[in-house]
Amino acid sequence: MQESSISPSPLAGRHLVLGLSGGIACYKAAELCRALVKAGATVQVVMTDAAAQFITPVTLQALSGRPVYSSQWDAREGNNMAHINLSRQADAIVVAPASADFMAKLLHGGADELLSLMCLARPIERVPLILAPAMNREMYAHPATQRNIAQLRADGSHVLGVGAGEQACGEVGDGRMLEPDELLEELNAFFTPKVLAGQQVLITAGPTYEAIDPVRGITNRSSGKMGFALAQAAWRAGAQVTLVAGPVSLPTPRGVQRLDVQSAQQMQQAVQACVERATVFIASAAVADWRVDGVAEHKIKKGEGGQAPALSFVENPDILAGVAASERARSGQLYCVGFAAESHDLLAHAQAKRQRKGVPLLVGNIGPDTFGRDDNALLLVDEHGSQELARASKAQLAAQLVAIVAQRLKA
């Protein structure tokens, strides 16, 4: 039995230049800076004079732990070439916010202050430029801005999307800079190897809820966190991801299409509607084995003497076994991964379940040790034996599992 190592955050050890051009969205850059440092990156902040009208360099220096640069004539650099030195040290230059004016300047090679100088002087082949636009909705929709964005992308810059909603001017529409957590996730994805590029991944997550009457039902303690982490990790790795989620309150991972269901039958219907397009199916949901035979139309009242109502059950569809038995799965066009939550004898139960379901890979865990928690320990079982993934955060385990699935697809 072999044990796998734990993978770090994609941003750990990265050195990023965080550039701020002028715009009210500069206040979001402060939270982004803090989040990047927390993720293990070092951050060198470079601000334009316009950015300093919205937020002070002192704030960004406190959050980054490094002096902020704003002038190409900064004498702290021995050769007085901050635009060369700072760009050569970076793993990427991230401009957030990137104003309409700043992007227009970049498009034409303008370089009249430090940040634009750095963007122009960076070694293009090894220091990517990532832009997070931020502006009024009319400015964003203007044909000139859209042409500039298209050309910047054609020139190799990575221009992110924008958010929609209420703007500082009081208008409502597209053009808001993405929120700090969205920007952080975009950067995590940018630095994640695209080992699942071109793959269509279908994932089930969370519990199912089987109604007894309009106010009662049968469910389980699954939080859905592992399945949601897998969806996030698969999207970061370049896949198109569809997530079929049972009744959980978790936020939808960025870039993921989410379908909400309640019962096992609803989950089966959603899976059947999507599985023909999938190349990978990961069944991490804790699907109820049984449902009540005949849901009461009204709330079942307490009987005299406290006598419990008599309930009869019927077996729910086996979603994983059904998909694994399909022609696409048997021919290798669809790779299936199952999950097993056990209370004891994990290896024996996982091996038996893998054989019974007919899947190439079965992921087992001890349910009471993981339900509702942010960490887990996994046991991977296939035809060759078993492999342990040591206890770690579910995000780290998801990244490891996605890498393993990618290796098997390649093989």
Q: Do 238 and 361 fall into the same domain?
A: yes
Residue 78 lies in a domain: yes
Compute the average pLDDT of residues 237-255. Answer: 97
pLDDT at 5: 37
Task: Please give the share of the chain, as a percent, with pLDDT higher than 90.
Answer: 85
Q: How far apart are CA 221 and CA 248, in angstroms?
A: 11
Catalytic residues: 169
Residue 331 per-residue DSSP state = T
| Whether pLDDT at 6 is above 70 | no
Mark whether 182 and 204 lie in a shared domain.
no
Q: Which helix (H) or strand (E) holds 149?
A: helix 143-154
Tell me how far apart the alpha carbons of residues 315 and 82 are, in angstroms, rounded to a whole number.
Answer: 69
Instruction: Look at residue 355 in the predicted model and tell me its pLDDT.
Output: 93
302 found inside a domain: no
Mean pLDDT in the chain?
94
Amino acid at the residue 198 = G
Residue 39 φ/ψ, nearest 5 degrees: -80, -5
- Read off the CATH number of the domain in which 90 is found: 3.40.50.1950
Q: What is the four-CA torsion angle of 153, 159, 161, 166, rounded to 10 degrees?
A: -120
Please give the tally of structural domains in the chain.
2
Question: What integer pLDDT is reported at residue 92 of this predicted model?
Answer: 98
Query: Would you place residue 85 in the very low, low, confident or very high pLDDT band (cuts 50, 70, 90)?
Result: confident
Interatomic CA distance for residues 296 and 285, integer angstroms: 26
Residue 95 tokens, joined: 């401009």
Q: Do 274 and 252 fall into the same domain?
A: yes
Same domain? 233 vs 365: yes
Asked if the structure places residue 300 within a domain, the reply is no
The rounded percent of the chain whose pLDDT value lies above 70 is: 98
* Same-domain status, 330 and 405: yes
Instruction: Specify whether 264 is located in the same domain as 178.
Output: no
Which structure tokens are listed for 12? 């750990």
Segments forming the whole domain that contains residue 124: 10-190
248 domain-assigned: yes
Asked if 174 and 192 touch (Cβ cutoff 8 Å), the reply is no
- 394, part of any domain: yes
For position 265, which CATH number holds?
3.40.50.10300
Place of tokens 């640069």: 69
Interatomic CA distance for residues 379 and 363, integer angstroms: 6
d(CA 283, CA 336): 8
Q: Is the confidence at residue 49, as pLDDT, over 50?
A: yes
Across residues 52-56, what is the average pLDDT? 97
Q: Which helix (H) or strand (E) holds 393?
A: strand 385-393
Tell whether 218 and 180 lie within a shared domain: no
- Tens digits of residue pLDDT in 130-177: 999 999 999 999 999 999 999 999 999 999 999 999 989 999 999 999
pTM of this structure: 0.91
CA gap 189, 255 in Å, rounded:
10
* Distances 115 to 36, 309, 365 between C-alpha atoms, Å: 19, 72, 49
Residue where a domain terminates, one of 167, 190, 213: 190
Q: Which residues contact 305 (CB under 8 A, 6 or more apart)?
A: none
CA-to-CA distance for 241 and 220, rounded, in angstroms? Answer: 25
Residue 404, in any domain of the structure = yes
Comparing 19-28, 76-85, 98-107, which segment has the lowest mean pLDDT? Answer: 76-85
85 vs 273, which has greater pLDDT? Answer: 273
Q: 2: pLDDT confidence band, cut at 50, 70 and 90?
A: very low
- Domain end point (choices 190, 213, 237): 190
**First-last CA distance in the chain:** 21
* 164 and 79 within one domain: yes
225 and 184 assigned to the same domain: no
Average pLDDT over residues 187-205: 97
User: What is the rounded average pLDDT of the residues 19-23?
Assistant: 97
SS3 326: coil
**298 in a domain, yes or no?**
no
- Structure confidence by residue, pLDDT tens digits, 365-392: 877 777 878 898 999 999 999 999 999 9
Where among 142, 166, 190 does a domain terminate? 190
For residue 237, is it within any domain? yes
* Mean pLDDT confidence for 310-334: 95
pLDDT tens digits, one per residue of 268-309: 999 999 999 999 999 999 999 999 999 999 999 887 677 888
Query: Per-residue confidence at 32, pLDDT binned at 50, 70, 90?
Result: very high
Residues 186 and 334 in one domain: no
For residue 60, give both structure tokens: 């960004």
Q: Are residues 351 and 264 in the same domain?
A: yes
Q: In a 10 Å sphere around its CB, with 0-12 CB exposed, 13-18 middle and 19+ buried, how is residue 215 labelled? A: exposed
Is the domain of 146 the same as that of 215? no
